[in-house]
Structure 1
């Protein structure tokens, strides 16, 4: 077994709405799409969306790093994104938690140098 994560799978209720969020709000390039499953290419693992009848959001499943969290926060606010936890400072950097169009919660982090 390789010691790396190749795919992060996120459950969604409405595929088209979720694709729009990840493409338009976060700017991720869509790699592959069907009615039930879609993939976005990131600089690391593939982010996959899988359509499910019931989605249970349990907390941050993944983290997006950024070089400018304040700029990203402003853009996300303009896009009407729901902030689950607003910008805060931690020992390792600045963090905020947002909700996607399907209620999944994840982090955006600007790590300290």
Structure 2
């Protein structure tokens, strides 16, 4: 059903401190760093850092990323089929498959038994990317 793990997002309380740790201490090659999002080049699976929500409760999606938590994304060739298969196994989705403008993917989000957000994504065909992208003047 899945091809590979696509990315891991780690919620952090201090972006600069965390980038220093993953880049300078662990030696991961830094792709880019911003206050809101940083990524490391780790081959086929991206490791990304995202600020943790301040005073957040248990993880329920990207708005509630806590320090020390992560979100794992899996790639599938047929997101609708994977969505139905997982639903049939009792998986609850917090976001059904939706096209993500500008990202070139269709993404669905579900939770593990502890509330960790996991996602499945499928690359959009070029015509799908065009259809979901805003028209530029």
Report the TM range for the smaller structure's normalisation: 0.3 to 0.5
Structure with a larger share of its residues in helix: 2
Structure with a larger share of its residues in strand: 1
